[in-house]
Structures are given as C-alpha cells and as structure tokens.
Homo-oligomer: A and B are copies of this chain.
C-alpha cells in the first residue's frame, strides 16, 4: 500500500510579498461540534463552493464524509459555528518554477495573523528549501497553528 506523501512547511509572514500574479480565494470554516464530541461537524466555504464535513471515529477507524451544500444551507447553519471560526483570504502564487506558496491572511478575531505554507515533493526538497526573505519564523511543528486549534483557541501565545 502506498500513500501520497505530503510534505509541508508552514511559516509566519515577515512582510507581504508582491501579490500581483497571485490568485485569491475567500475561505471560511467553522466547527459546529466541540472537541470532546463523538463526531466533528465542520462547515466550509471556499470561494463559491460550500461544504459540510462530518468526521467520526478515532485511531484506526476514522471516516470523513464531505458533502456539497448550497450557499443558502451554509448561511442557515453558519450561526452555529459562533466562537469556532476561521475566516481568511488565501493567496496562491509561485516562489519558483517548481514551488508554490499558499498565503493565508486571516480576518475576524484571528486578524492580523498571516501564515504561509509550501508543499514539497520530498523531504529532501523540504529540507533544502531556500526560505524567501518575506517569510518569518518556521511554525511547522507548532500545533497551535493548525486550522482547528486556531478556530477554537485563537492565535497561539508566544512562548
């Protein structure tokens, strides 16, 4: 059994780069359930697409069930995510011919947080990455910067 290996690094942002060539999409996601519930129910808007995702199980038996919903259905359910939301604009652009960045500019209660992610095709490529000047600290290993942690706990306090 082979799985696609995902190698990503995540950084804070020192200063915004030139975004003229970048594409932009609005992302909102919010959690309806609480951390200790038996299932996780998430609403997500990405541009003009809306999703309801249900995750259940833990450990070996996990399942994820994502369905498309309408903008109206999204709007009807969104109030239930109050206090557990992420709202951001995601910019995608090129760092080099092979490498793309995904820059998340957070809004709402998470502003002015900005995070940038780069996906690599191998661990060697990730380790050899020449970090651009506009990148800030590497936060790849800090769990507080994961989407769900940001939504439920806010911006991590500095160590």
Copies of this chain held together in the complex: 2
Whether A32 contacts B37 in the complex (CB less than 8 A), given A77-B54, A80-B54, comes out as no
Whether A67 contacts B56 in the complex (CB less than 8 A), given A34-B38, A37-B38, comes out as no
Do A54 and B32 touch (CB < 8 A)? yes
- Interface size bucket, A side? 20 to 34
Residues of B within 8 A of A89 (CB): none
Residues of B within 8 A of A39 (CB): 32-34, 37, 41, 80
Q: Which A residues from 47 to 87 make CB contacts under 8 A with B?
A: 54, 56, 63, 65, 67-69, 73, 76-77, 79-80
Given known contacts A67-B76, A67-B77, what 7 new A-B pairs fall within 8 Å (CB)?
A: A33-B33, A33-B37, A33-B38, A37-B37, A39-B80, A56-B80, A65-B80
